[in-house]
Amino acid sequence: MPHILVVANQTIAGAKLLNLVQERAKEDDTSFTLVVPMTKPRSGYVIYDDAVRDSAQVRLDLTLSYLRGEDVVASGEIGDEDPFTAALDAIHEYKPDEVLISTLPQSSSGWLRRDLIERIQDATSAPVTHIVSDMDADGLPFQVTLVVANVTAGRGDLRSRMKEIAEEHDDMLFIVVVPLEAHGDGRAAAVARARLGNTLDKMRREGLLVAGMVGDPDPYTATMNSLQFYKVSRIVISTLPVTRSGWMRADLISRVRKASNIDVEHIVAEAPAEVTP
């Protein structure tokens, strides 16, 4: 069975790349391994390692969900921050019959400015195919809703709204972002990750195609970083009622609407009585 390695980052779910993968999958039962190098976000004073890795994992998970739904045999992994190292590590491990590398156009691709394609071609005997994906022009073969929530992440009213969106758009996938909380004692990552895990479990039991990540403690920064990593068609922000919500006091909804130029929906959800903003 032929095996193809796919190396991509922001373009991992680009329509041009995924259409080519589906075409190749029909040839001799080809299988695929997707490698997504980690990328640090542009926003935020502090870069959180968990958020960097999670953002790459989200891109990988959603793309694999889509491909497997199209009967493509595919697996994947997170790669080194250096795309050349990530590609060579994977080539050494999987010994693919072909390498597909997807980048943004020349004018916006850091990979091309570093001559990534030529360097990989020189380092491997496998054929290397370069796909240029213009995410604005080509889009995705599915839609993505970004859901930003913290203490209300697992609440039934938010899940109900996500199910409604999924029923309205049968090609909808979801990214859930849970910002860190500043506990001051090292518990923030553990609390956020547990909350995220419980939320994803509940949503998957509802039949939703969903992946998630822990984000920056500032919900605005967490949201904007997520938009850097994935092209979304709508944003759903879930908060406590205005009298209890620090996010609402910080005018989060209007700030995201203004900065993103994307449809933003606000869901007010109750949380357990012991939870405070």
Give 216-226 pLDDT, tens digit per residue: 889 999 999 88
Q: Which of 262, 17, 9 is nearest to 145 (CA)?
A: 262
Query: Lowest mean pLDDT: which of 37-51, 194-208, 218-232?
Result: 37-51
**Domain 143-268, classified CATH 3.40.50.620, yes or no:** yes
- Kindly report the pTM of this predicted structure: 0.79
Query: Lowest mean pLDDT: which of 80-94, 96-110, 142-156, 179-193?
Result: 179-193
Q: What mean pLDDT, rounded, does the chain reach?
A: 88
Higher pLDDT, 5 or 52: 5
Higher pLDDT, 130 or 38: 130
Q: Where are the alpha helices (DSSP H) in 108-218?
A: 110-113, 116-123, 135-138, 156-168, 188-205
Rounded CA separation 76/79 (Å)? 9
pLDDT at 54 (0 to 100): 79
pLDDT at 69 (0 to 100): 87
Give 106-156 pLDDT, tens digit per residue: 988 999 999 999 999 999 999 999 999 988 888 888 999 999 999 999 888
Rg value, the chain, Cα: 19
Fold that domain 3-138 belongs to in CATH: Rossmann fold (3.40.50)
Every domain of the chain with CATH number 3.40.50.620 lies at: 3-138, 143-268
CB of 100 closer than 8 Å to CB of 131: yes
pLDDT interval class at 270 (50, 70, 90) = confident
pLDDT at 138 (0 to 100): 84
